[in-house]
């Protein structure tokens, strides 16, 4: 298994369990599903048969359920409320500046490639701004006016060939450390 960590904060952002696809050697895309998860242990998981037992109210047991995108829930990503294109542009510029500084010291050749590829990608992405949501790791809390300290993960709502809405999380390849477990 590969764990993808934020190069700036060290927070775990994703795993290869979601079968990421590398696009243009710049962005990993992870397809997501909208799910509801519960912390309840269902009797059927341990061989019980609810239909053969009296019907107790399942919600009365104090269980907690959470709905959201599986990639976000599995990796402790929380929505980062950016609704204005200018605000996102400002946040992403701060992030890119920190990321490029890190790449300059750790991988200068890759930094040049990243700089060439990121401008057309961001230009195209901003054209689809209304179909985007943004997520951050719940442990990485903004510490200053310099913006969010780590990667702002992109969730794009797309339509597939059948006209159904699909959900795709996007992570900048160069903002990730790949760690094998």
pLDDT at 13 over 60: yes
Note whether residue 56 is domain-resident. Answer: no
- Average pLDDT along the chain: 87
Note whether residue 40 is domain-resident. Answer: no
CATH number of the domain within which 150 lies? 2.170.150.10
Q: What is the 3-state secondary structure (H, E, C) of 67-100?
A: EEEHHHHHCCEEECCCCCHHHHHHHHHHHHHHHH
Q: How many domains does the chain have?
A: 1
Note whether residue 51 is domain-resident. Answer: no
Residue span of the structural domain in which 159 resides: 2-35+73-180
Note whether residue 64 is domain-resident. Answer: no
Q: Residue 64: which pLDDT band, with cuts at 50, 70 and 90? A: confident
pLDDT of residue 56: 41
The answer to whether 52 and 36 are in contact (CB under 8 A) is: no
Dump pLDDT digits (tens) for 90-147.
999 999 999 999 999 999 999 999 999 999 999 999 999 999 999 999 887 665 566 6
pLDDT at 148 over 50: yes
Note whether residue 135 is domain-resident. Answer: yes
- Three-state SS at 53: coil
Note whether residue 55 is domain-resident. Answer: no
pLDDT at 63 over 90: no
The strand pair at 2-6 and 77-79 is best described as: unpaired
Indicate if the alpha-carbon torsion angle 86, 92, 95, 97 is positive or negative.
negative
Note whether residue 152 is domain-resident. Answer: yes
pTM of the predicted structure, to 2 decimals: 0.84
Note whether residue 122 is domain-resident. Answer: yes
Dump pLDDT digits (tens) for 17-52.
989 999 999 999 999 999 998 877 666 556 655 555
């Amino acid at each position: 298994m590969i764990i993808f960590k934020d190069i700036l904060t060290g927070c775990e952002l994703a795993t290869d369990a979601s079968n990421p696809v590398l696009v243009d050697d710049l962005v990993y895309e992870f397809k997501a599903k909208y799910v509801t998860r519960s912390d309840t242990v269902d009797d059927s998981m341990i061989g019980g048969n609810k239909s053969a037992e009296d019907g107790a109210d399942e919600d009365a047991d104090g269980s907690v359920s959470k709905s959201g995108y599986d990639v976000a829930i599995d990796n402790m990503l929380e929505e980062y409320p950016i609704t204005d294109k200018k605000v996102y542009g400002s946040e992403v510029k701060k992030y890119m500046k920190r990321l490029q500084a890190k790449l300059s010291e750790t991988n200068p050749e890759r930094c040049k490639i990243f700089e060439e590829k990121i401008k057309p990608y961001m230009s195209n992405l901003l054209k689809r701004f209304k179909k985007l949501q943004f997520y951050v790791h719940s442990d990485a809390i903004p510490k200053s006016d310099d913006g969010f300290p780590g990667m702002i993960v992109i969730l794009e709502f797309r339509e597939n060939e059948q006209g159904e809405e699909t959900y795709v999380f996007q992570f900048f390849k160069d903002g990730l450390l790949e760690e094998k477990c």
